[in-house]
Amino acid sequence: MKLVSSRDSLVEAISIVQKAVSTRSTLPILDGILIEAKDNSVKLTGYDLETGIEALVDADVMEEGSIVIPSRIFGEIIRKLPEAEVSINANERMIIDIVSGSSKFAINGISAEGFPTIPVVGDDNKIVLNQDVLRNMISQTIFAISTDEGRPILNGSLFESDGKSINMVSIDGFRMAHRKQEIGEDIPVMKFLIPGKALHEAGRILTGKDAEVVIYASTNHILFDTGRFRIVSRLINGEFLDYHAIVPKNSSTTMIVDKNAVLDAVERASLIIQKEDRRCPVSLSMSDEETLVIASSTELGNLREEVHCQITGDLIGVDFNHKYIIDALRSIEEDTVKFLFSGSNGPSVVVPVEGEGYTYLILPLRK
């Protein structure tokens, strides 16, 4: 195998592919990146038997071939090379020469024959989306994915298509993030659970404002394909929670407020909450129909701030984990939002003033 490619293109591809390289495998070959050179392009592949990522890199291929190179050292070498052009040459003894300018590395590689094959996902079920749309849907829901491995069904997001719109839902037991996107055309009806890791990596490869991403799904796997990058992941098996039943049908208090005013005040309140003091709340209370009081008091000090709003219903006080409010409000694009409260101890919901684009539910801290 012999090829010449751009250092910057290789750096970008390696940084993406490395996220699927195993770090705890007993198989040395899974610690490596598969390099395949063919038809003036190079494909880099990382695969940890759960998630596989492929990246295509433009290159001048003088001799076709394939080999596996240890991921960590490969990435570090390419990033430190002095020149923009990189030559990679692998011989029959599995020695890989990497040359850039006057720098020359010789690295021991591994035969590509033992590298596992990434599962093939057919094109029977596919959805084509704008990359910006999918990236926003991911960023507006991924923060509510649970990291509790004891509840694997919540370690990912529900992806659900009803033929006209797409819903993405994440629940971690303390909050829910629901994002709905109207597509406006016929799309396949789908419903599956995507692991958080796969969604995180998919968000990293979605960069084209006017470009498309194709999503293919099978019984056990999902594939995100942007043309340059492909991510294949095993799906989570099981039945997701009925998220419709979680959202209260009625509320005792409705508050319409400027999103940024609340976000800024809660972020200021968080400054006096130490990271290890997770139970210390930010309090939202209502002194009258037009005033929301945001306050926090800890051993470091206290803060009290008033925000103008419109309140109908009961005047109440609710305590929240500040991070949950911040995560939700940061992900909302609209400037004005509606809070729906179910008393001081019931679930609180944040929705748009108009439309159904998103729903964020947050459980309060018990007083």
Res. 24: pLDDT tops 80: no
The mean pLDDT of 250-269, rounded to a whole number, is: 96
The closest of 20, 2, 18, 315 to 195, measured between CA atoms, is 20
Structure tokens at 79: 């990033």
Q: Percent of the chain having pLDDT more than 90?
A: 84
Q: Which residues pair with 283 in a beta bridge?
A: 295, 319
Q: What is the pLDDT of residues 227-240, one digit of tens each?
A: 999 999 999 999 99
pTM: 0.91
Q: Has residue 276 got a pLDDT over 60?
A: no
Per-residue confidence (pLDDT) for residue 272, from 0 to 100: 87
Q: What per-residue confidence (pLDDT) applies to 277?
A: 58
Average pLDDT, the chain: 93
Instruction: For the chain, list the domains and their CATH numbers.
Output: 2-114 (3.10.150.10), 126-244 (3.10.150.10), 247-362 (3.10.150.10)
Predicted confidence (pLDDT) per residue in 137-191, tens digit? 999 999 999 999 899 999 999 999 998 999 999 999 999 999 999 987 788 889 9
* pLDDT classification of 13: cutoffs 50, 70, 90: very high
For residue 294, pLDDT beyond 60: yes
Res 132 pLDDT > 80 = yes
Q: What is the mean pLDDT of residues 291-299?
A: 92
pLDDT tens figures, 73-124? 999 999 999 988 999 999 999 999 999 999 999 999 999 999 999 999 988 8
CB atoms within 10 A of CB 32: 25
Spatial neighbors of 363 by CB under 8 A, at least 6 apart, are: 174, 175, 347, 348
Q: What is the structure's pLDDT at 279? A: 65
Q: How far apart are CA 324 and CA 72, in angstroms?
A: 35
pLDDT attached to residue 356? 83
pLDDT value, residue 297: 87
The angle that helices 322-330 and 259-270 make with each other, rounded to 10 degrees, is 140
Q: What percent of the chain has pLDDT over 70?
A: 98
Q: What is the largest CA-CA distance in the chain?
A: 79
C-alpha 126 chain-centroid distance: 20
Average pLDDT over residues 128-133: 93
The candidate with the shortest Cα–Cα distance to 131, out of 214, 223, 213, is: 213
At residue 278, the pLDDT reads 58
